[in-house]
Each structure stands twice: as structure tokens, then as C-alpha cells.
């Protein structure tokens, strides 16, 4: 995965925003940071929403690779993601808890 300097888009509370900085695509996620930041964030490409912030690059890459195994992230909208997340929680509670532990550290 190659780090690219340039513009990237992500979603916030006020909709889609474009920022300048560095990013890497790791489908269905992207790893990014603004030009003035030292730590990296992992966001979902389709929805633009943040998965986790303030990580070292190697940790962001490892988390992205780990989460790629979960098909629930292969959704086009926030609504479908929310539905898939609930289905995953009900059908695979152990894997769901493991995934959340990996993301939150709790």
C-alpha cells in the first residue's frame, strides 16, 4: 500500500469534507492524516466515516488488513452498514465482540 500526498475526502458531522495531507487506499478503507498531523486515521471508503483515529501508520495498516476479512464493510451506504453491523452482531456475537475489541482496544 503506497502513501500518496494530495487531497482526500471523508465524512464528518456536517457532510463530506476534502482535506490535504497523505493517504493510502486499502479497500474498503483508506488510511489518512492531514498535513499538520503526525498520527493516522482509518476511515471507510464508501461512507467516509472514521473507524479509528490517532494511530501509528503500522497500526492503521494492520487494523485495515484485519477488518478486510469482515464482509459487513463491503456496503455502499451508512444505512446498509448499520443494518449489516446489527446482523453481524446477532449471527456472530463472538466475532463481533472480537472485531470491536480490535477497534476500540477494550
Break the chain into its structural domains and give their ranges: 4-104
User: Looking at residue 21, what is its pLDDT?
Assistant: 97
Q: What is the pLDDT of residue 28?
A: 96
Task: Give, for 64, the enclosing helix (H) or strand (E).
Answer: helix 57-67
User: 63 near 55, Cβ under 8 Å?
Assistant: yes
Q: The whole model's pTM is what?
A: 0.89
Given a cut of 90, whether residue 1 has pLDDT beyond it is no
pLDDT tens digits, 45-77: 999 889 999 999 999 999 999 999 999 999 998
Mean pLDDT of the chain: 93
State residue 87's pLDDT score.
Answer: 95
Residues in a beta bridge with 15: 12
Where is 96: in which H helix or E strand? Answer: helix 93-104
Amino acid at each position: 500500500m503506497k502513501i500518496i500526498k494530495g487531497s482526500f475526502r471523508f465524512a464528518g458531522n456536517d457532510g463530506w469534507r476534502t482535506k490535504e495531507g497523505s493517504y493510502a487506499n486499502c479497500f474498503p478503507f483508506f488510511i489518512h492524516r492531514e498535513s499538520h498531523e503526525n498520527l493516522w486515521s482509518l476511515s471507510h471508503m464508501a461512507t467516509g466515516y472514521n473507524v479509528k483515529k490517532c494511530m501509528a501508520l503500522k497500526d492503521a495498516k494492520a487494523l485495515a488488513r484485519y477488518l478486510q476479512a469482515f464482509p459487513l464493510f463491503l456496503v455502499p451506504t451508512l444505512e446498509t452498514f448499520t443494518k449489516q453491523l446489527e446482523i453481524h452482531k446477532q449471527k456472530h456475537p463472538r466475532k463481533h465482540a472480537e472485531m470491536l475489541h480490535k477497534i476500540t482496544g477494550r
